[in-house]
A = this chain, B = another copy of it.
């Protein structure tokens, strides 16, 4: 960046321009089931065979496969019978529906919901608010009302969040030794993937997923296996209903949905409910911005997404510490995981 060659030909700008093409190629190959088919088939397939199996045009499929080769999601072998395609290892692990680390659901959420909202980014910046109204014709007053506007949308969102925890959950929970905390409430715990990671990492803990009634119902029926007795449920709205006493409250990607006033209101309520002394604490799981505004880019982009989809923003460690202190928490510690999500622990 900034070298004479870069300035003569703006490679980086062309790459940024093509960013949405790259996203949509990956999302579409996932959506059409390319990676699932190639995993199941167990052998390389021609583009004609893939198009026939998936019921698509051959001209479209061939190009989609070739673009996936350029992105190293597929590998191609030229044989006398023509080109044969297979998944790369990274595609097998992360882009097939059946893999335990599958990112399929978050991709579908990105592709079908977030992509549409982001078409109105200029409006979001101009107006300083989310864009559900322009994108989907629904009121943006209540972001979760908008995000959960149908059971299908809610399911997509919950499954998407679970995908995230399948690759980051263990890291944020292992950032601190949480084993002294036995009774854990996961506020806004949604589909429960983080709760499951927690009882797996800390076998003596029990985790209660506290979320809206309709979310809890779906989590119970579709996401958390009934034999998992260390996970319980509590139906409620943490802004309007009471929060029961517990040792540790996890607020994972919750504060980033709300402005400072709402965050303070929620943290004060959590502080009141929390067991006193060193046996009580709160764990914030968020993507942390650098204090000097330099990055990380991923988090800066997520902060823009909070503008487009919620009432919140991403924050720096200092900003979260200040919010925690204002609510009465102390001994605040910050751990960066090196992945997207980091952990901040405060004690009562």
Residues in A44-74 with C-beta less than 8 Å from chain B: 55-61, 63-64, 66-67, 69-72
Provide the residues of chain B in CB contact with A10, threshold 8 Å. Answer: 90, 93-94, 103, 167
A14 & B118 in contact (Cβ 8 Å cutoff):
no
The chain B residue with its CB closest to the CB of A8 is: B167
Most chain B CB within 10 A, of A21, A57, A294, is at A21
A197 within 8 A of B: no
Provide the residues of chain B in CB contact with A79, threshold 8 Å. Answer: none
B115 & A59 in contact (Cβ 8 Å cutoff):
no
Residues in A297-325 with C-beta less than 8 Å from chain B: 297-298, 300-301, 303-305, 307, 313
Number of chain copies forming the complex: 2
* Known A9-B339, A67-B301, A115-B119: A127·B57 in contact at CB below 8 Å: yes
Provide the residues of chain B in CB contact with A292, threshold 8 Å. Answer: 76, 78
Provide the residues of chain B in CB contact with A300, threshold 8 Å. Answer: 63, 66-67, 69-70
- Would you give the shortest CB distance from A182 to chain B, in whole angstroms? 30
A229 within 8 A of B: no
A126 within 8 A of B: yes
B17 & A18 in contact (Cβ 8 Å cutoff):
no
B16 & A20 in contact (Cβ 8 Å cutoff):
no
A133 within 8 A of B: no
- Would you give the shortest CB distance from A123 to chain B, in whole angstroms? 9
**CB 8 Å contact bits of A72-88 with B (1 = contact, 0 = none):** 10001010000100001
A19 within 8 A of B: yes
A203 within 8 A of B: no
A24 within 8 A of B: yes
The chain B residue with its CB closest to the CB of A6 is: B90
A25 within 8 A of B: yes
A298 & B23 in contact (Cβ 8 Å cutoff):
no
The chain B residue with its CB closest to the CB of A337 is: B9
A326 within 8 A of B: no
B125 & A304 in contact (Cβ 8 Å cutoff):
no
| A interface residue numbers (CB < 8 A to B) | 1-2, 6-7, 9-10, 12-14, 16-28, 31-32, 55-61, 63-64, 66-67, 69-72, 76, 78, 83, 88-90, 93-95, 103, 106-107, 110, 115-116, 118-119, 121-122, 124-129, 167, 289, 292-298, 300-301, 303-305, 307, 313, 339-340
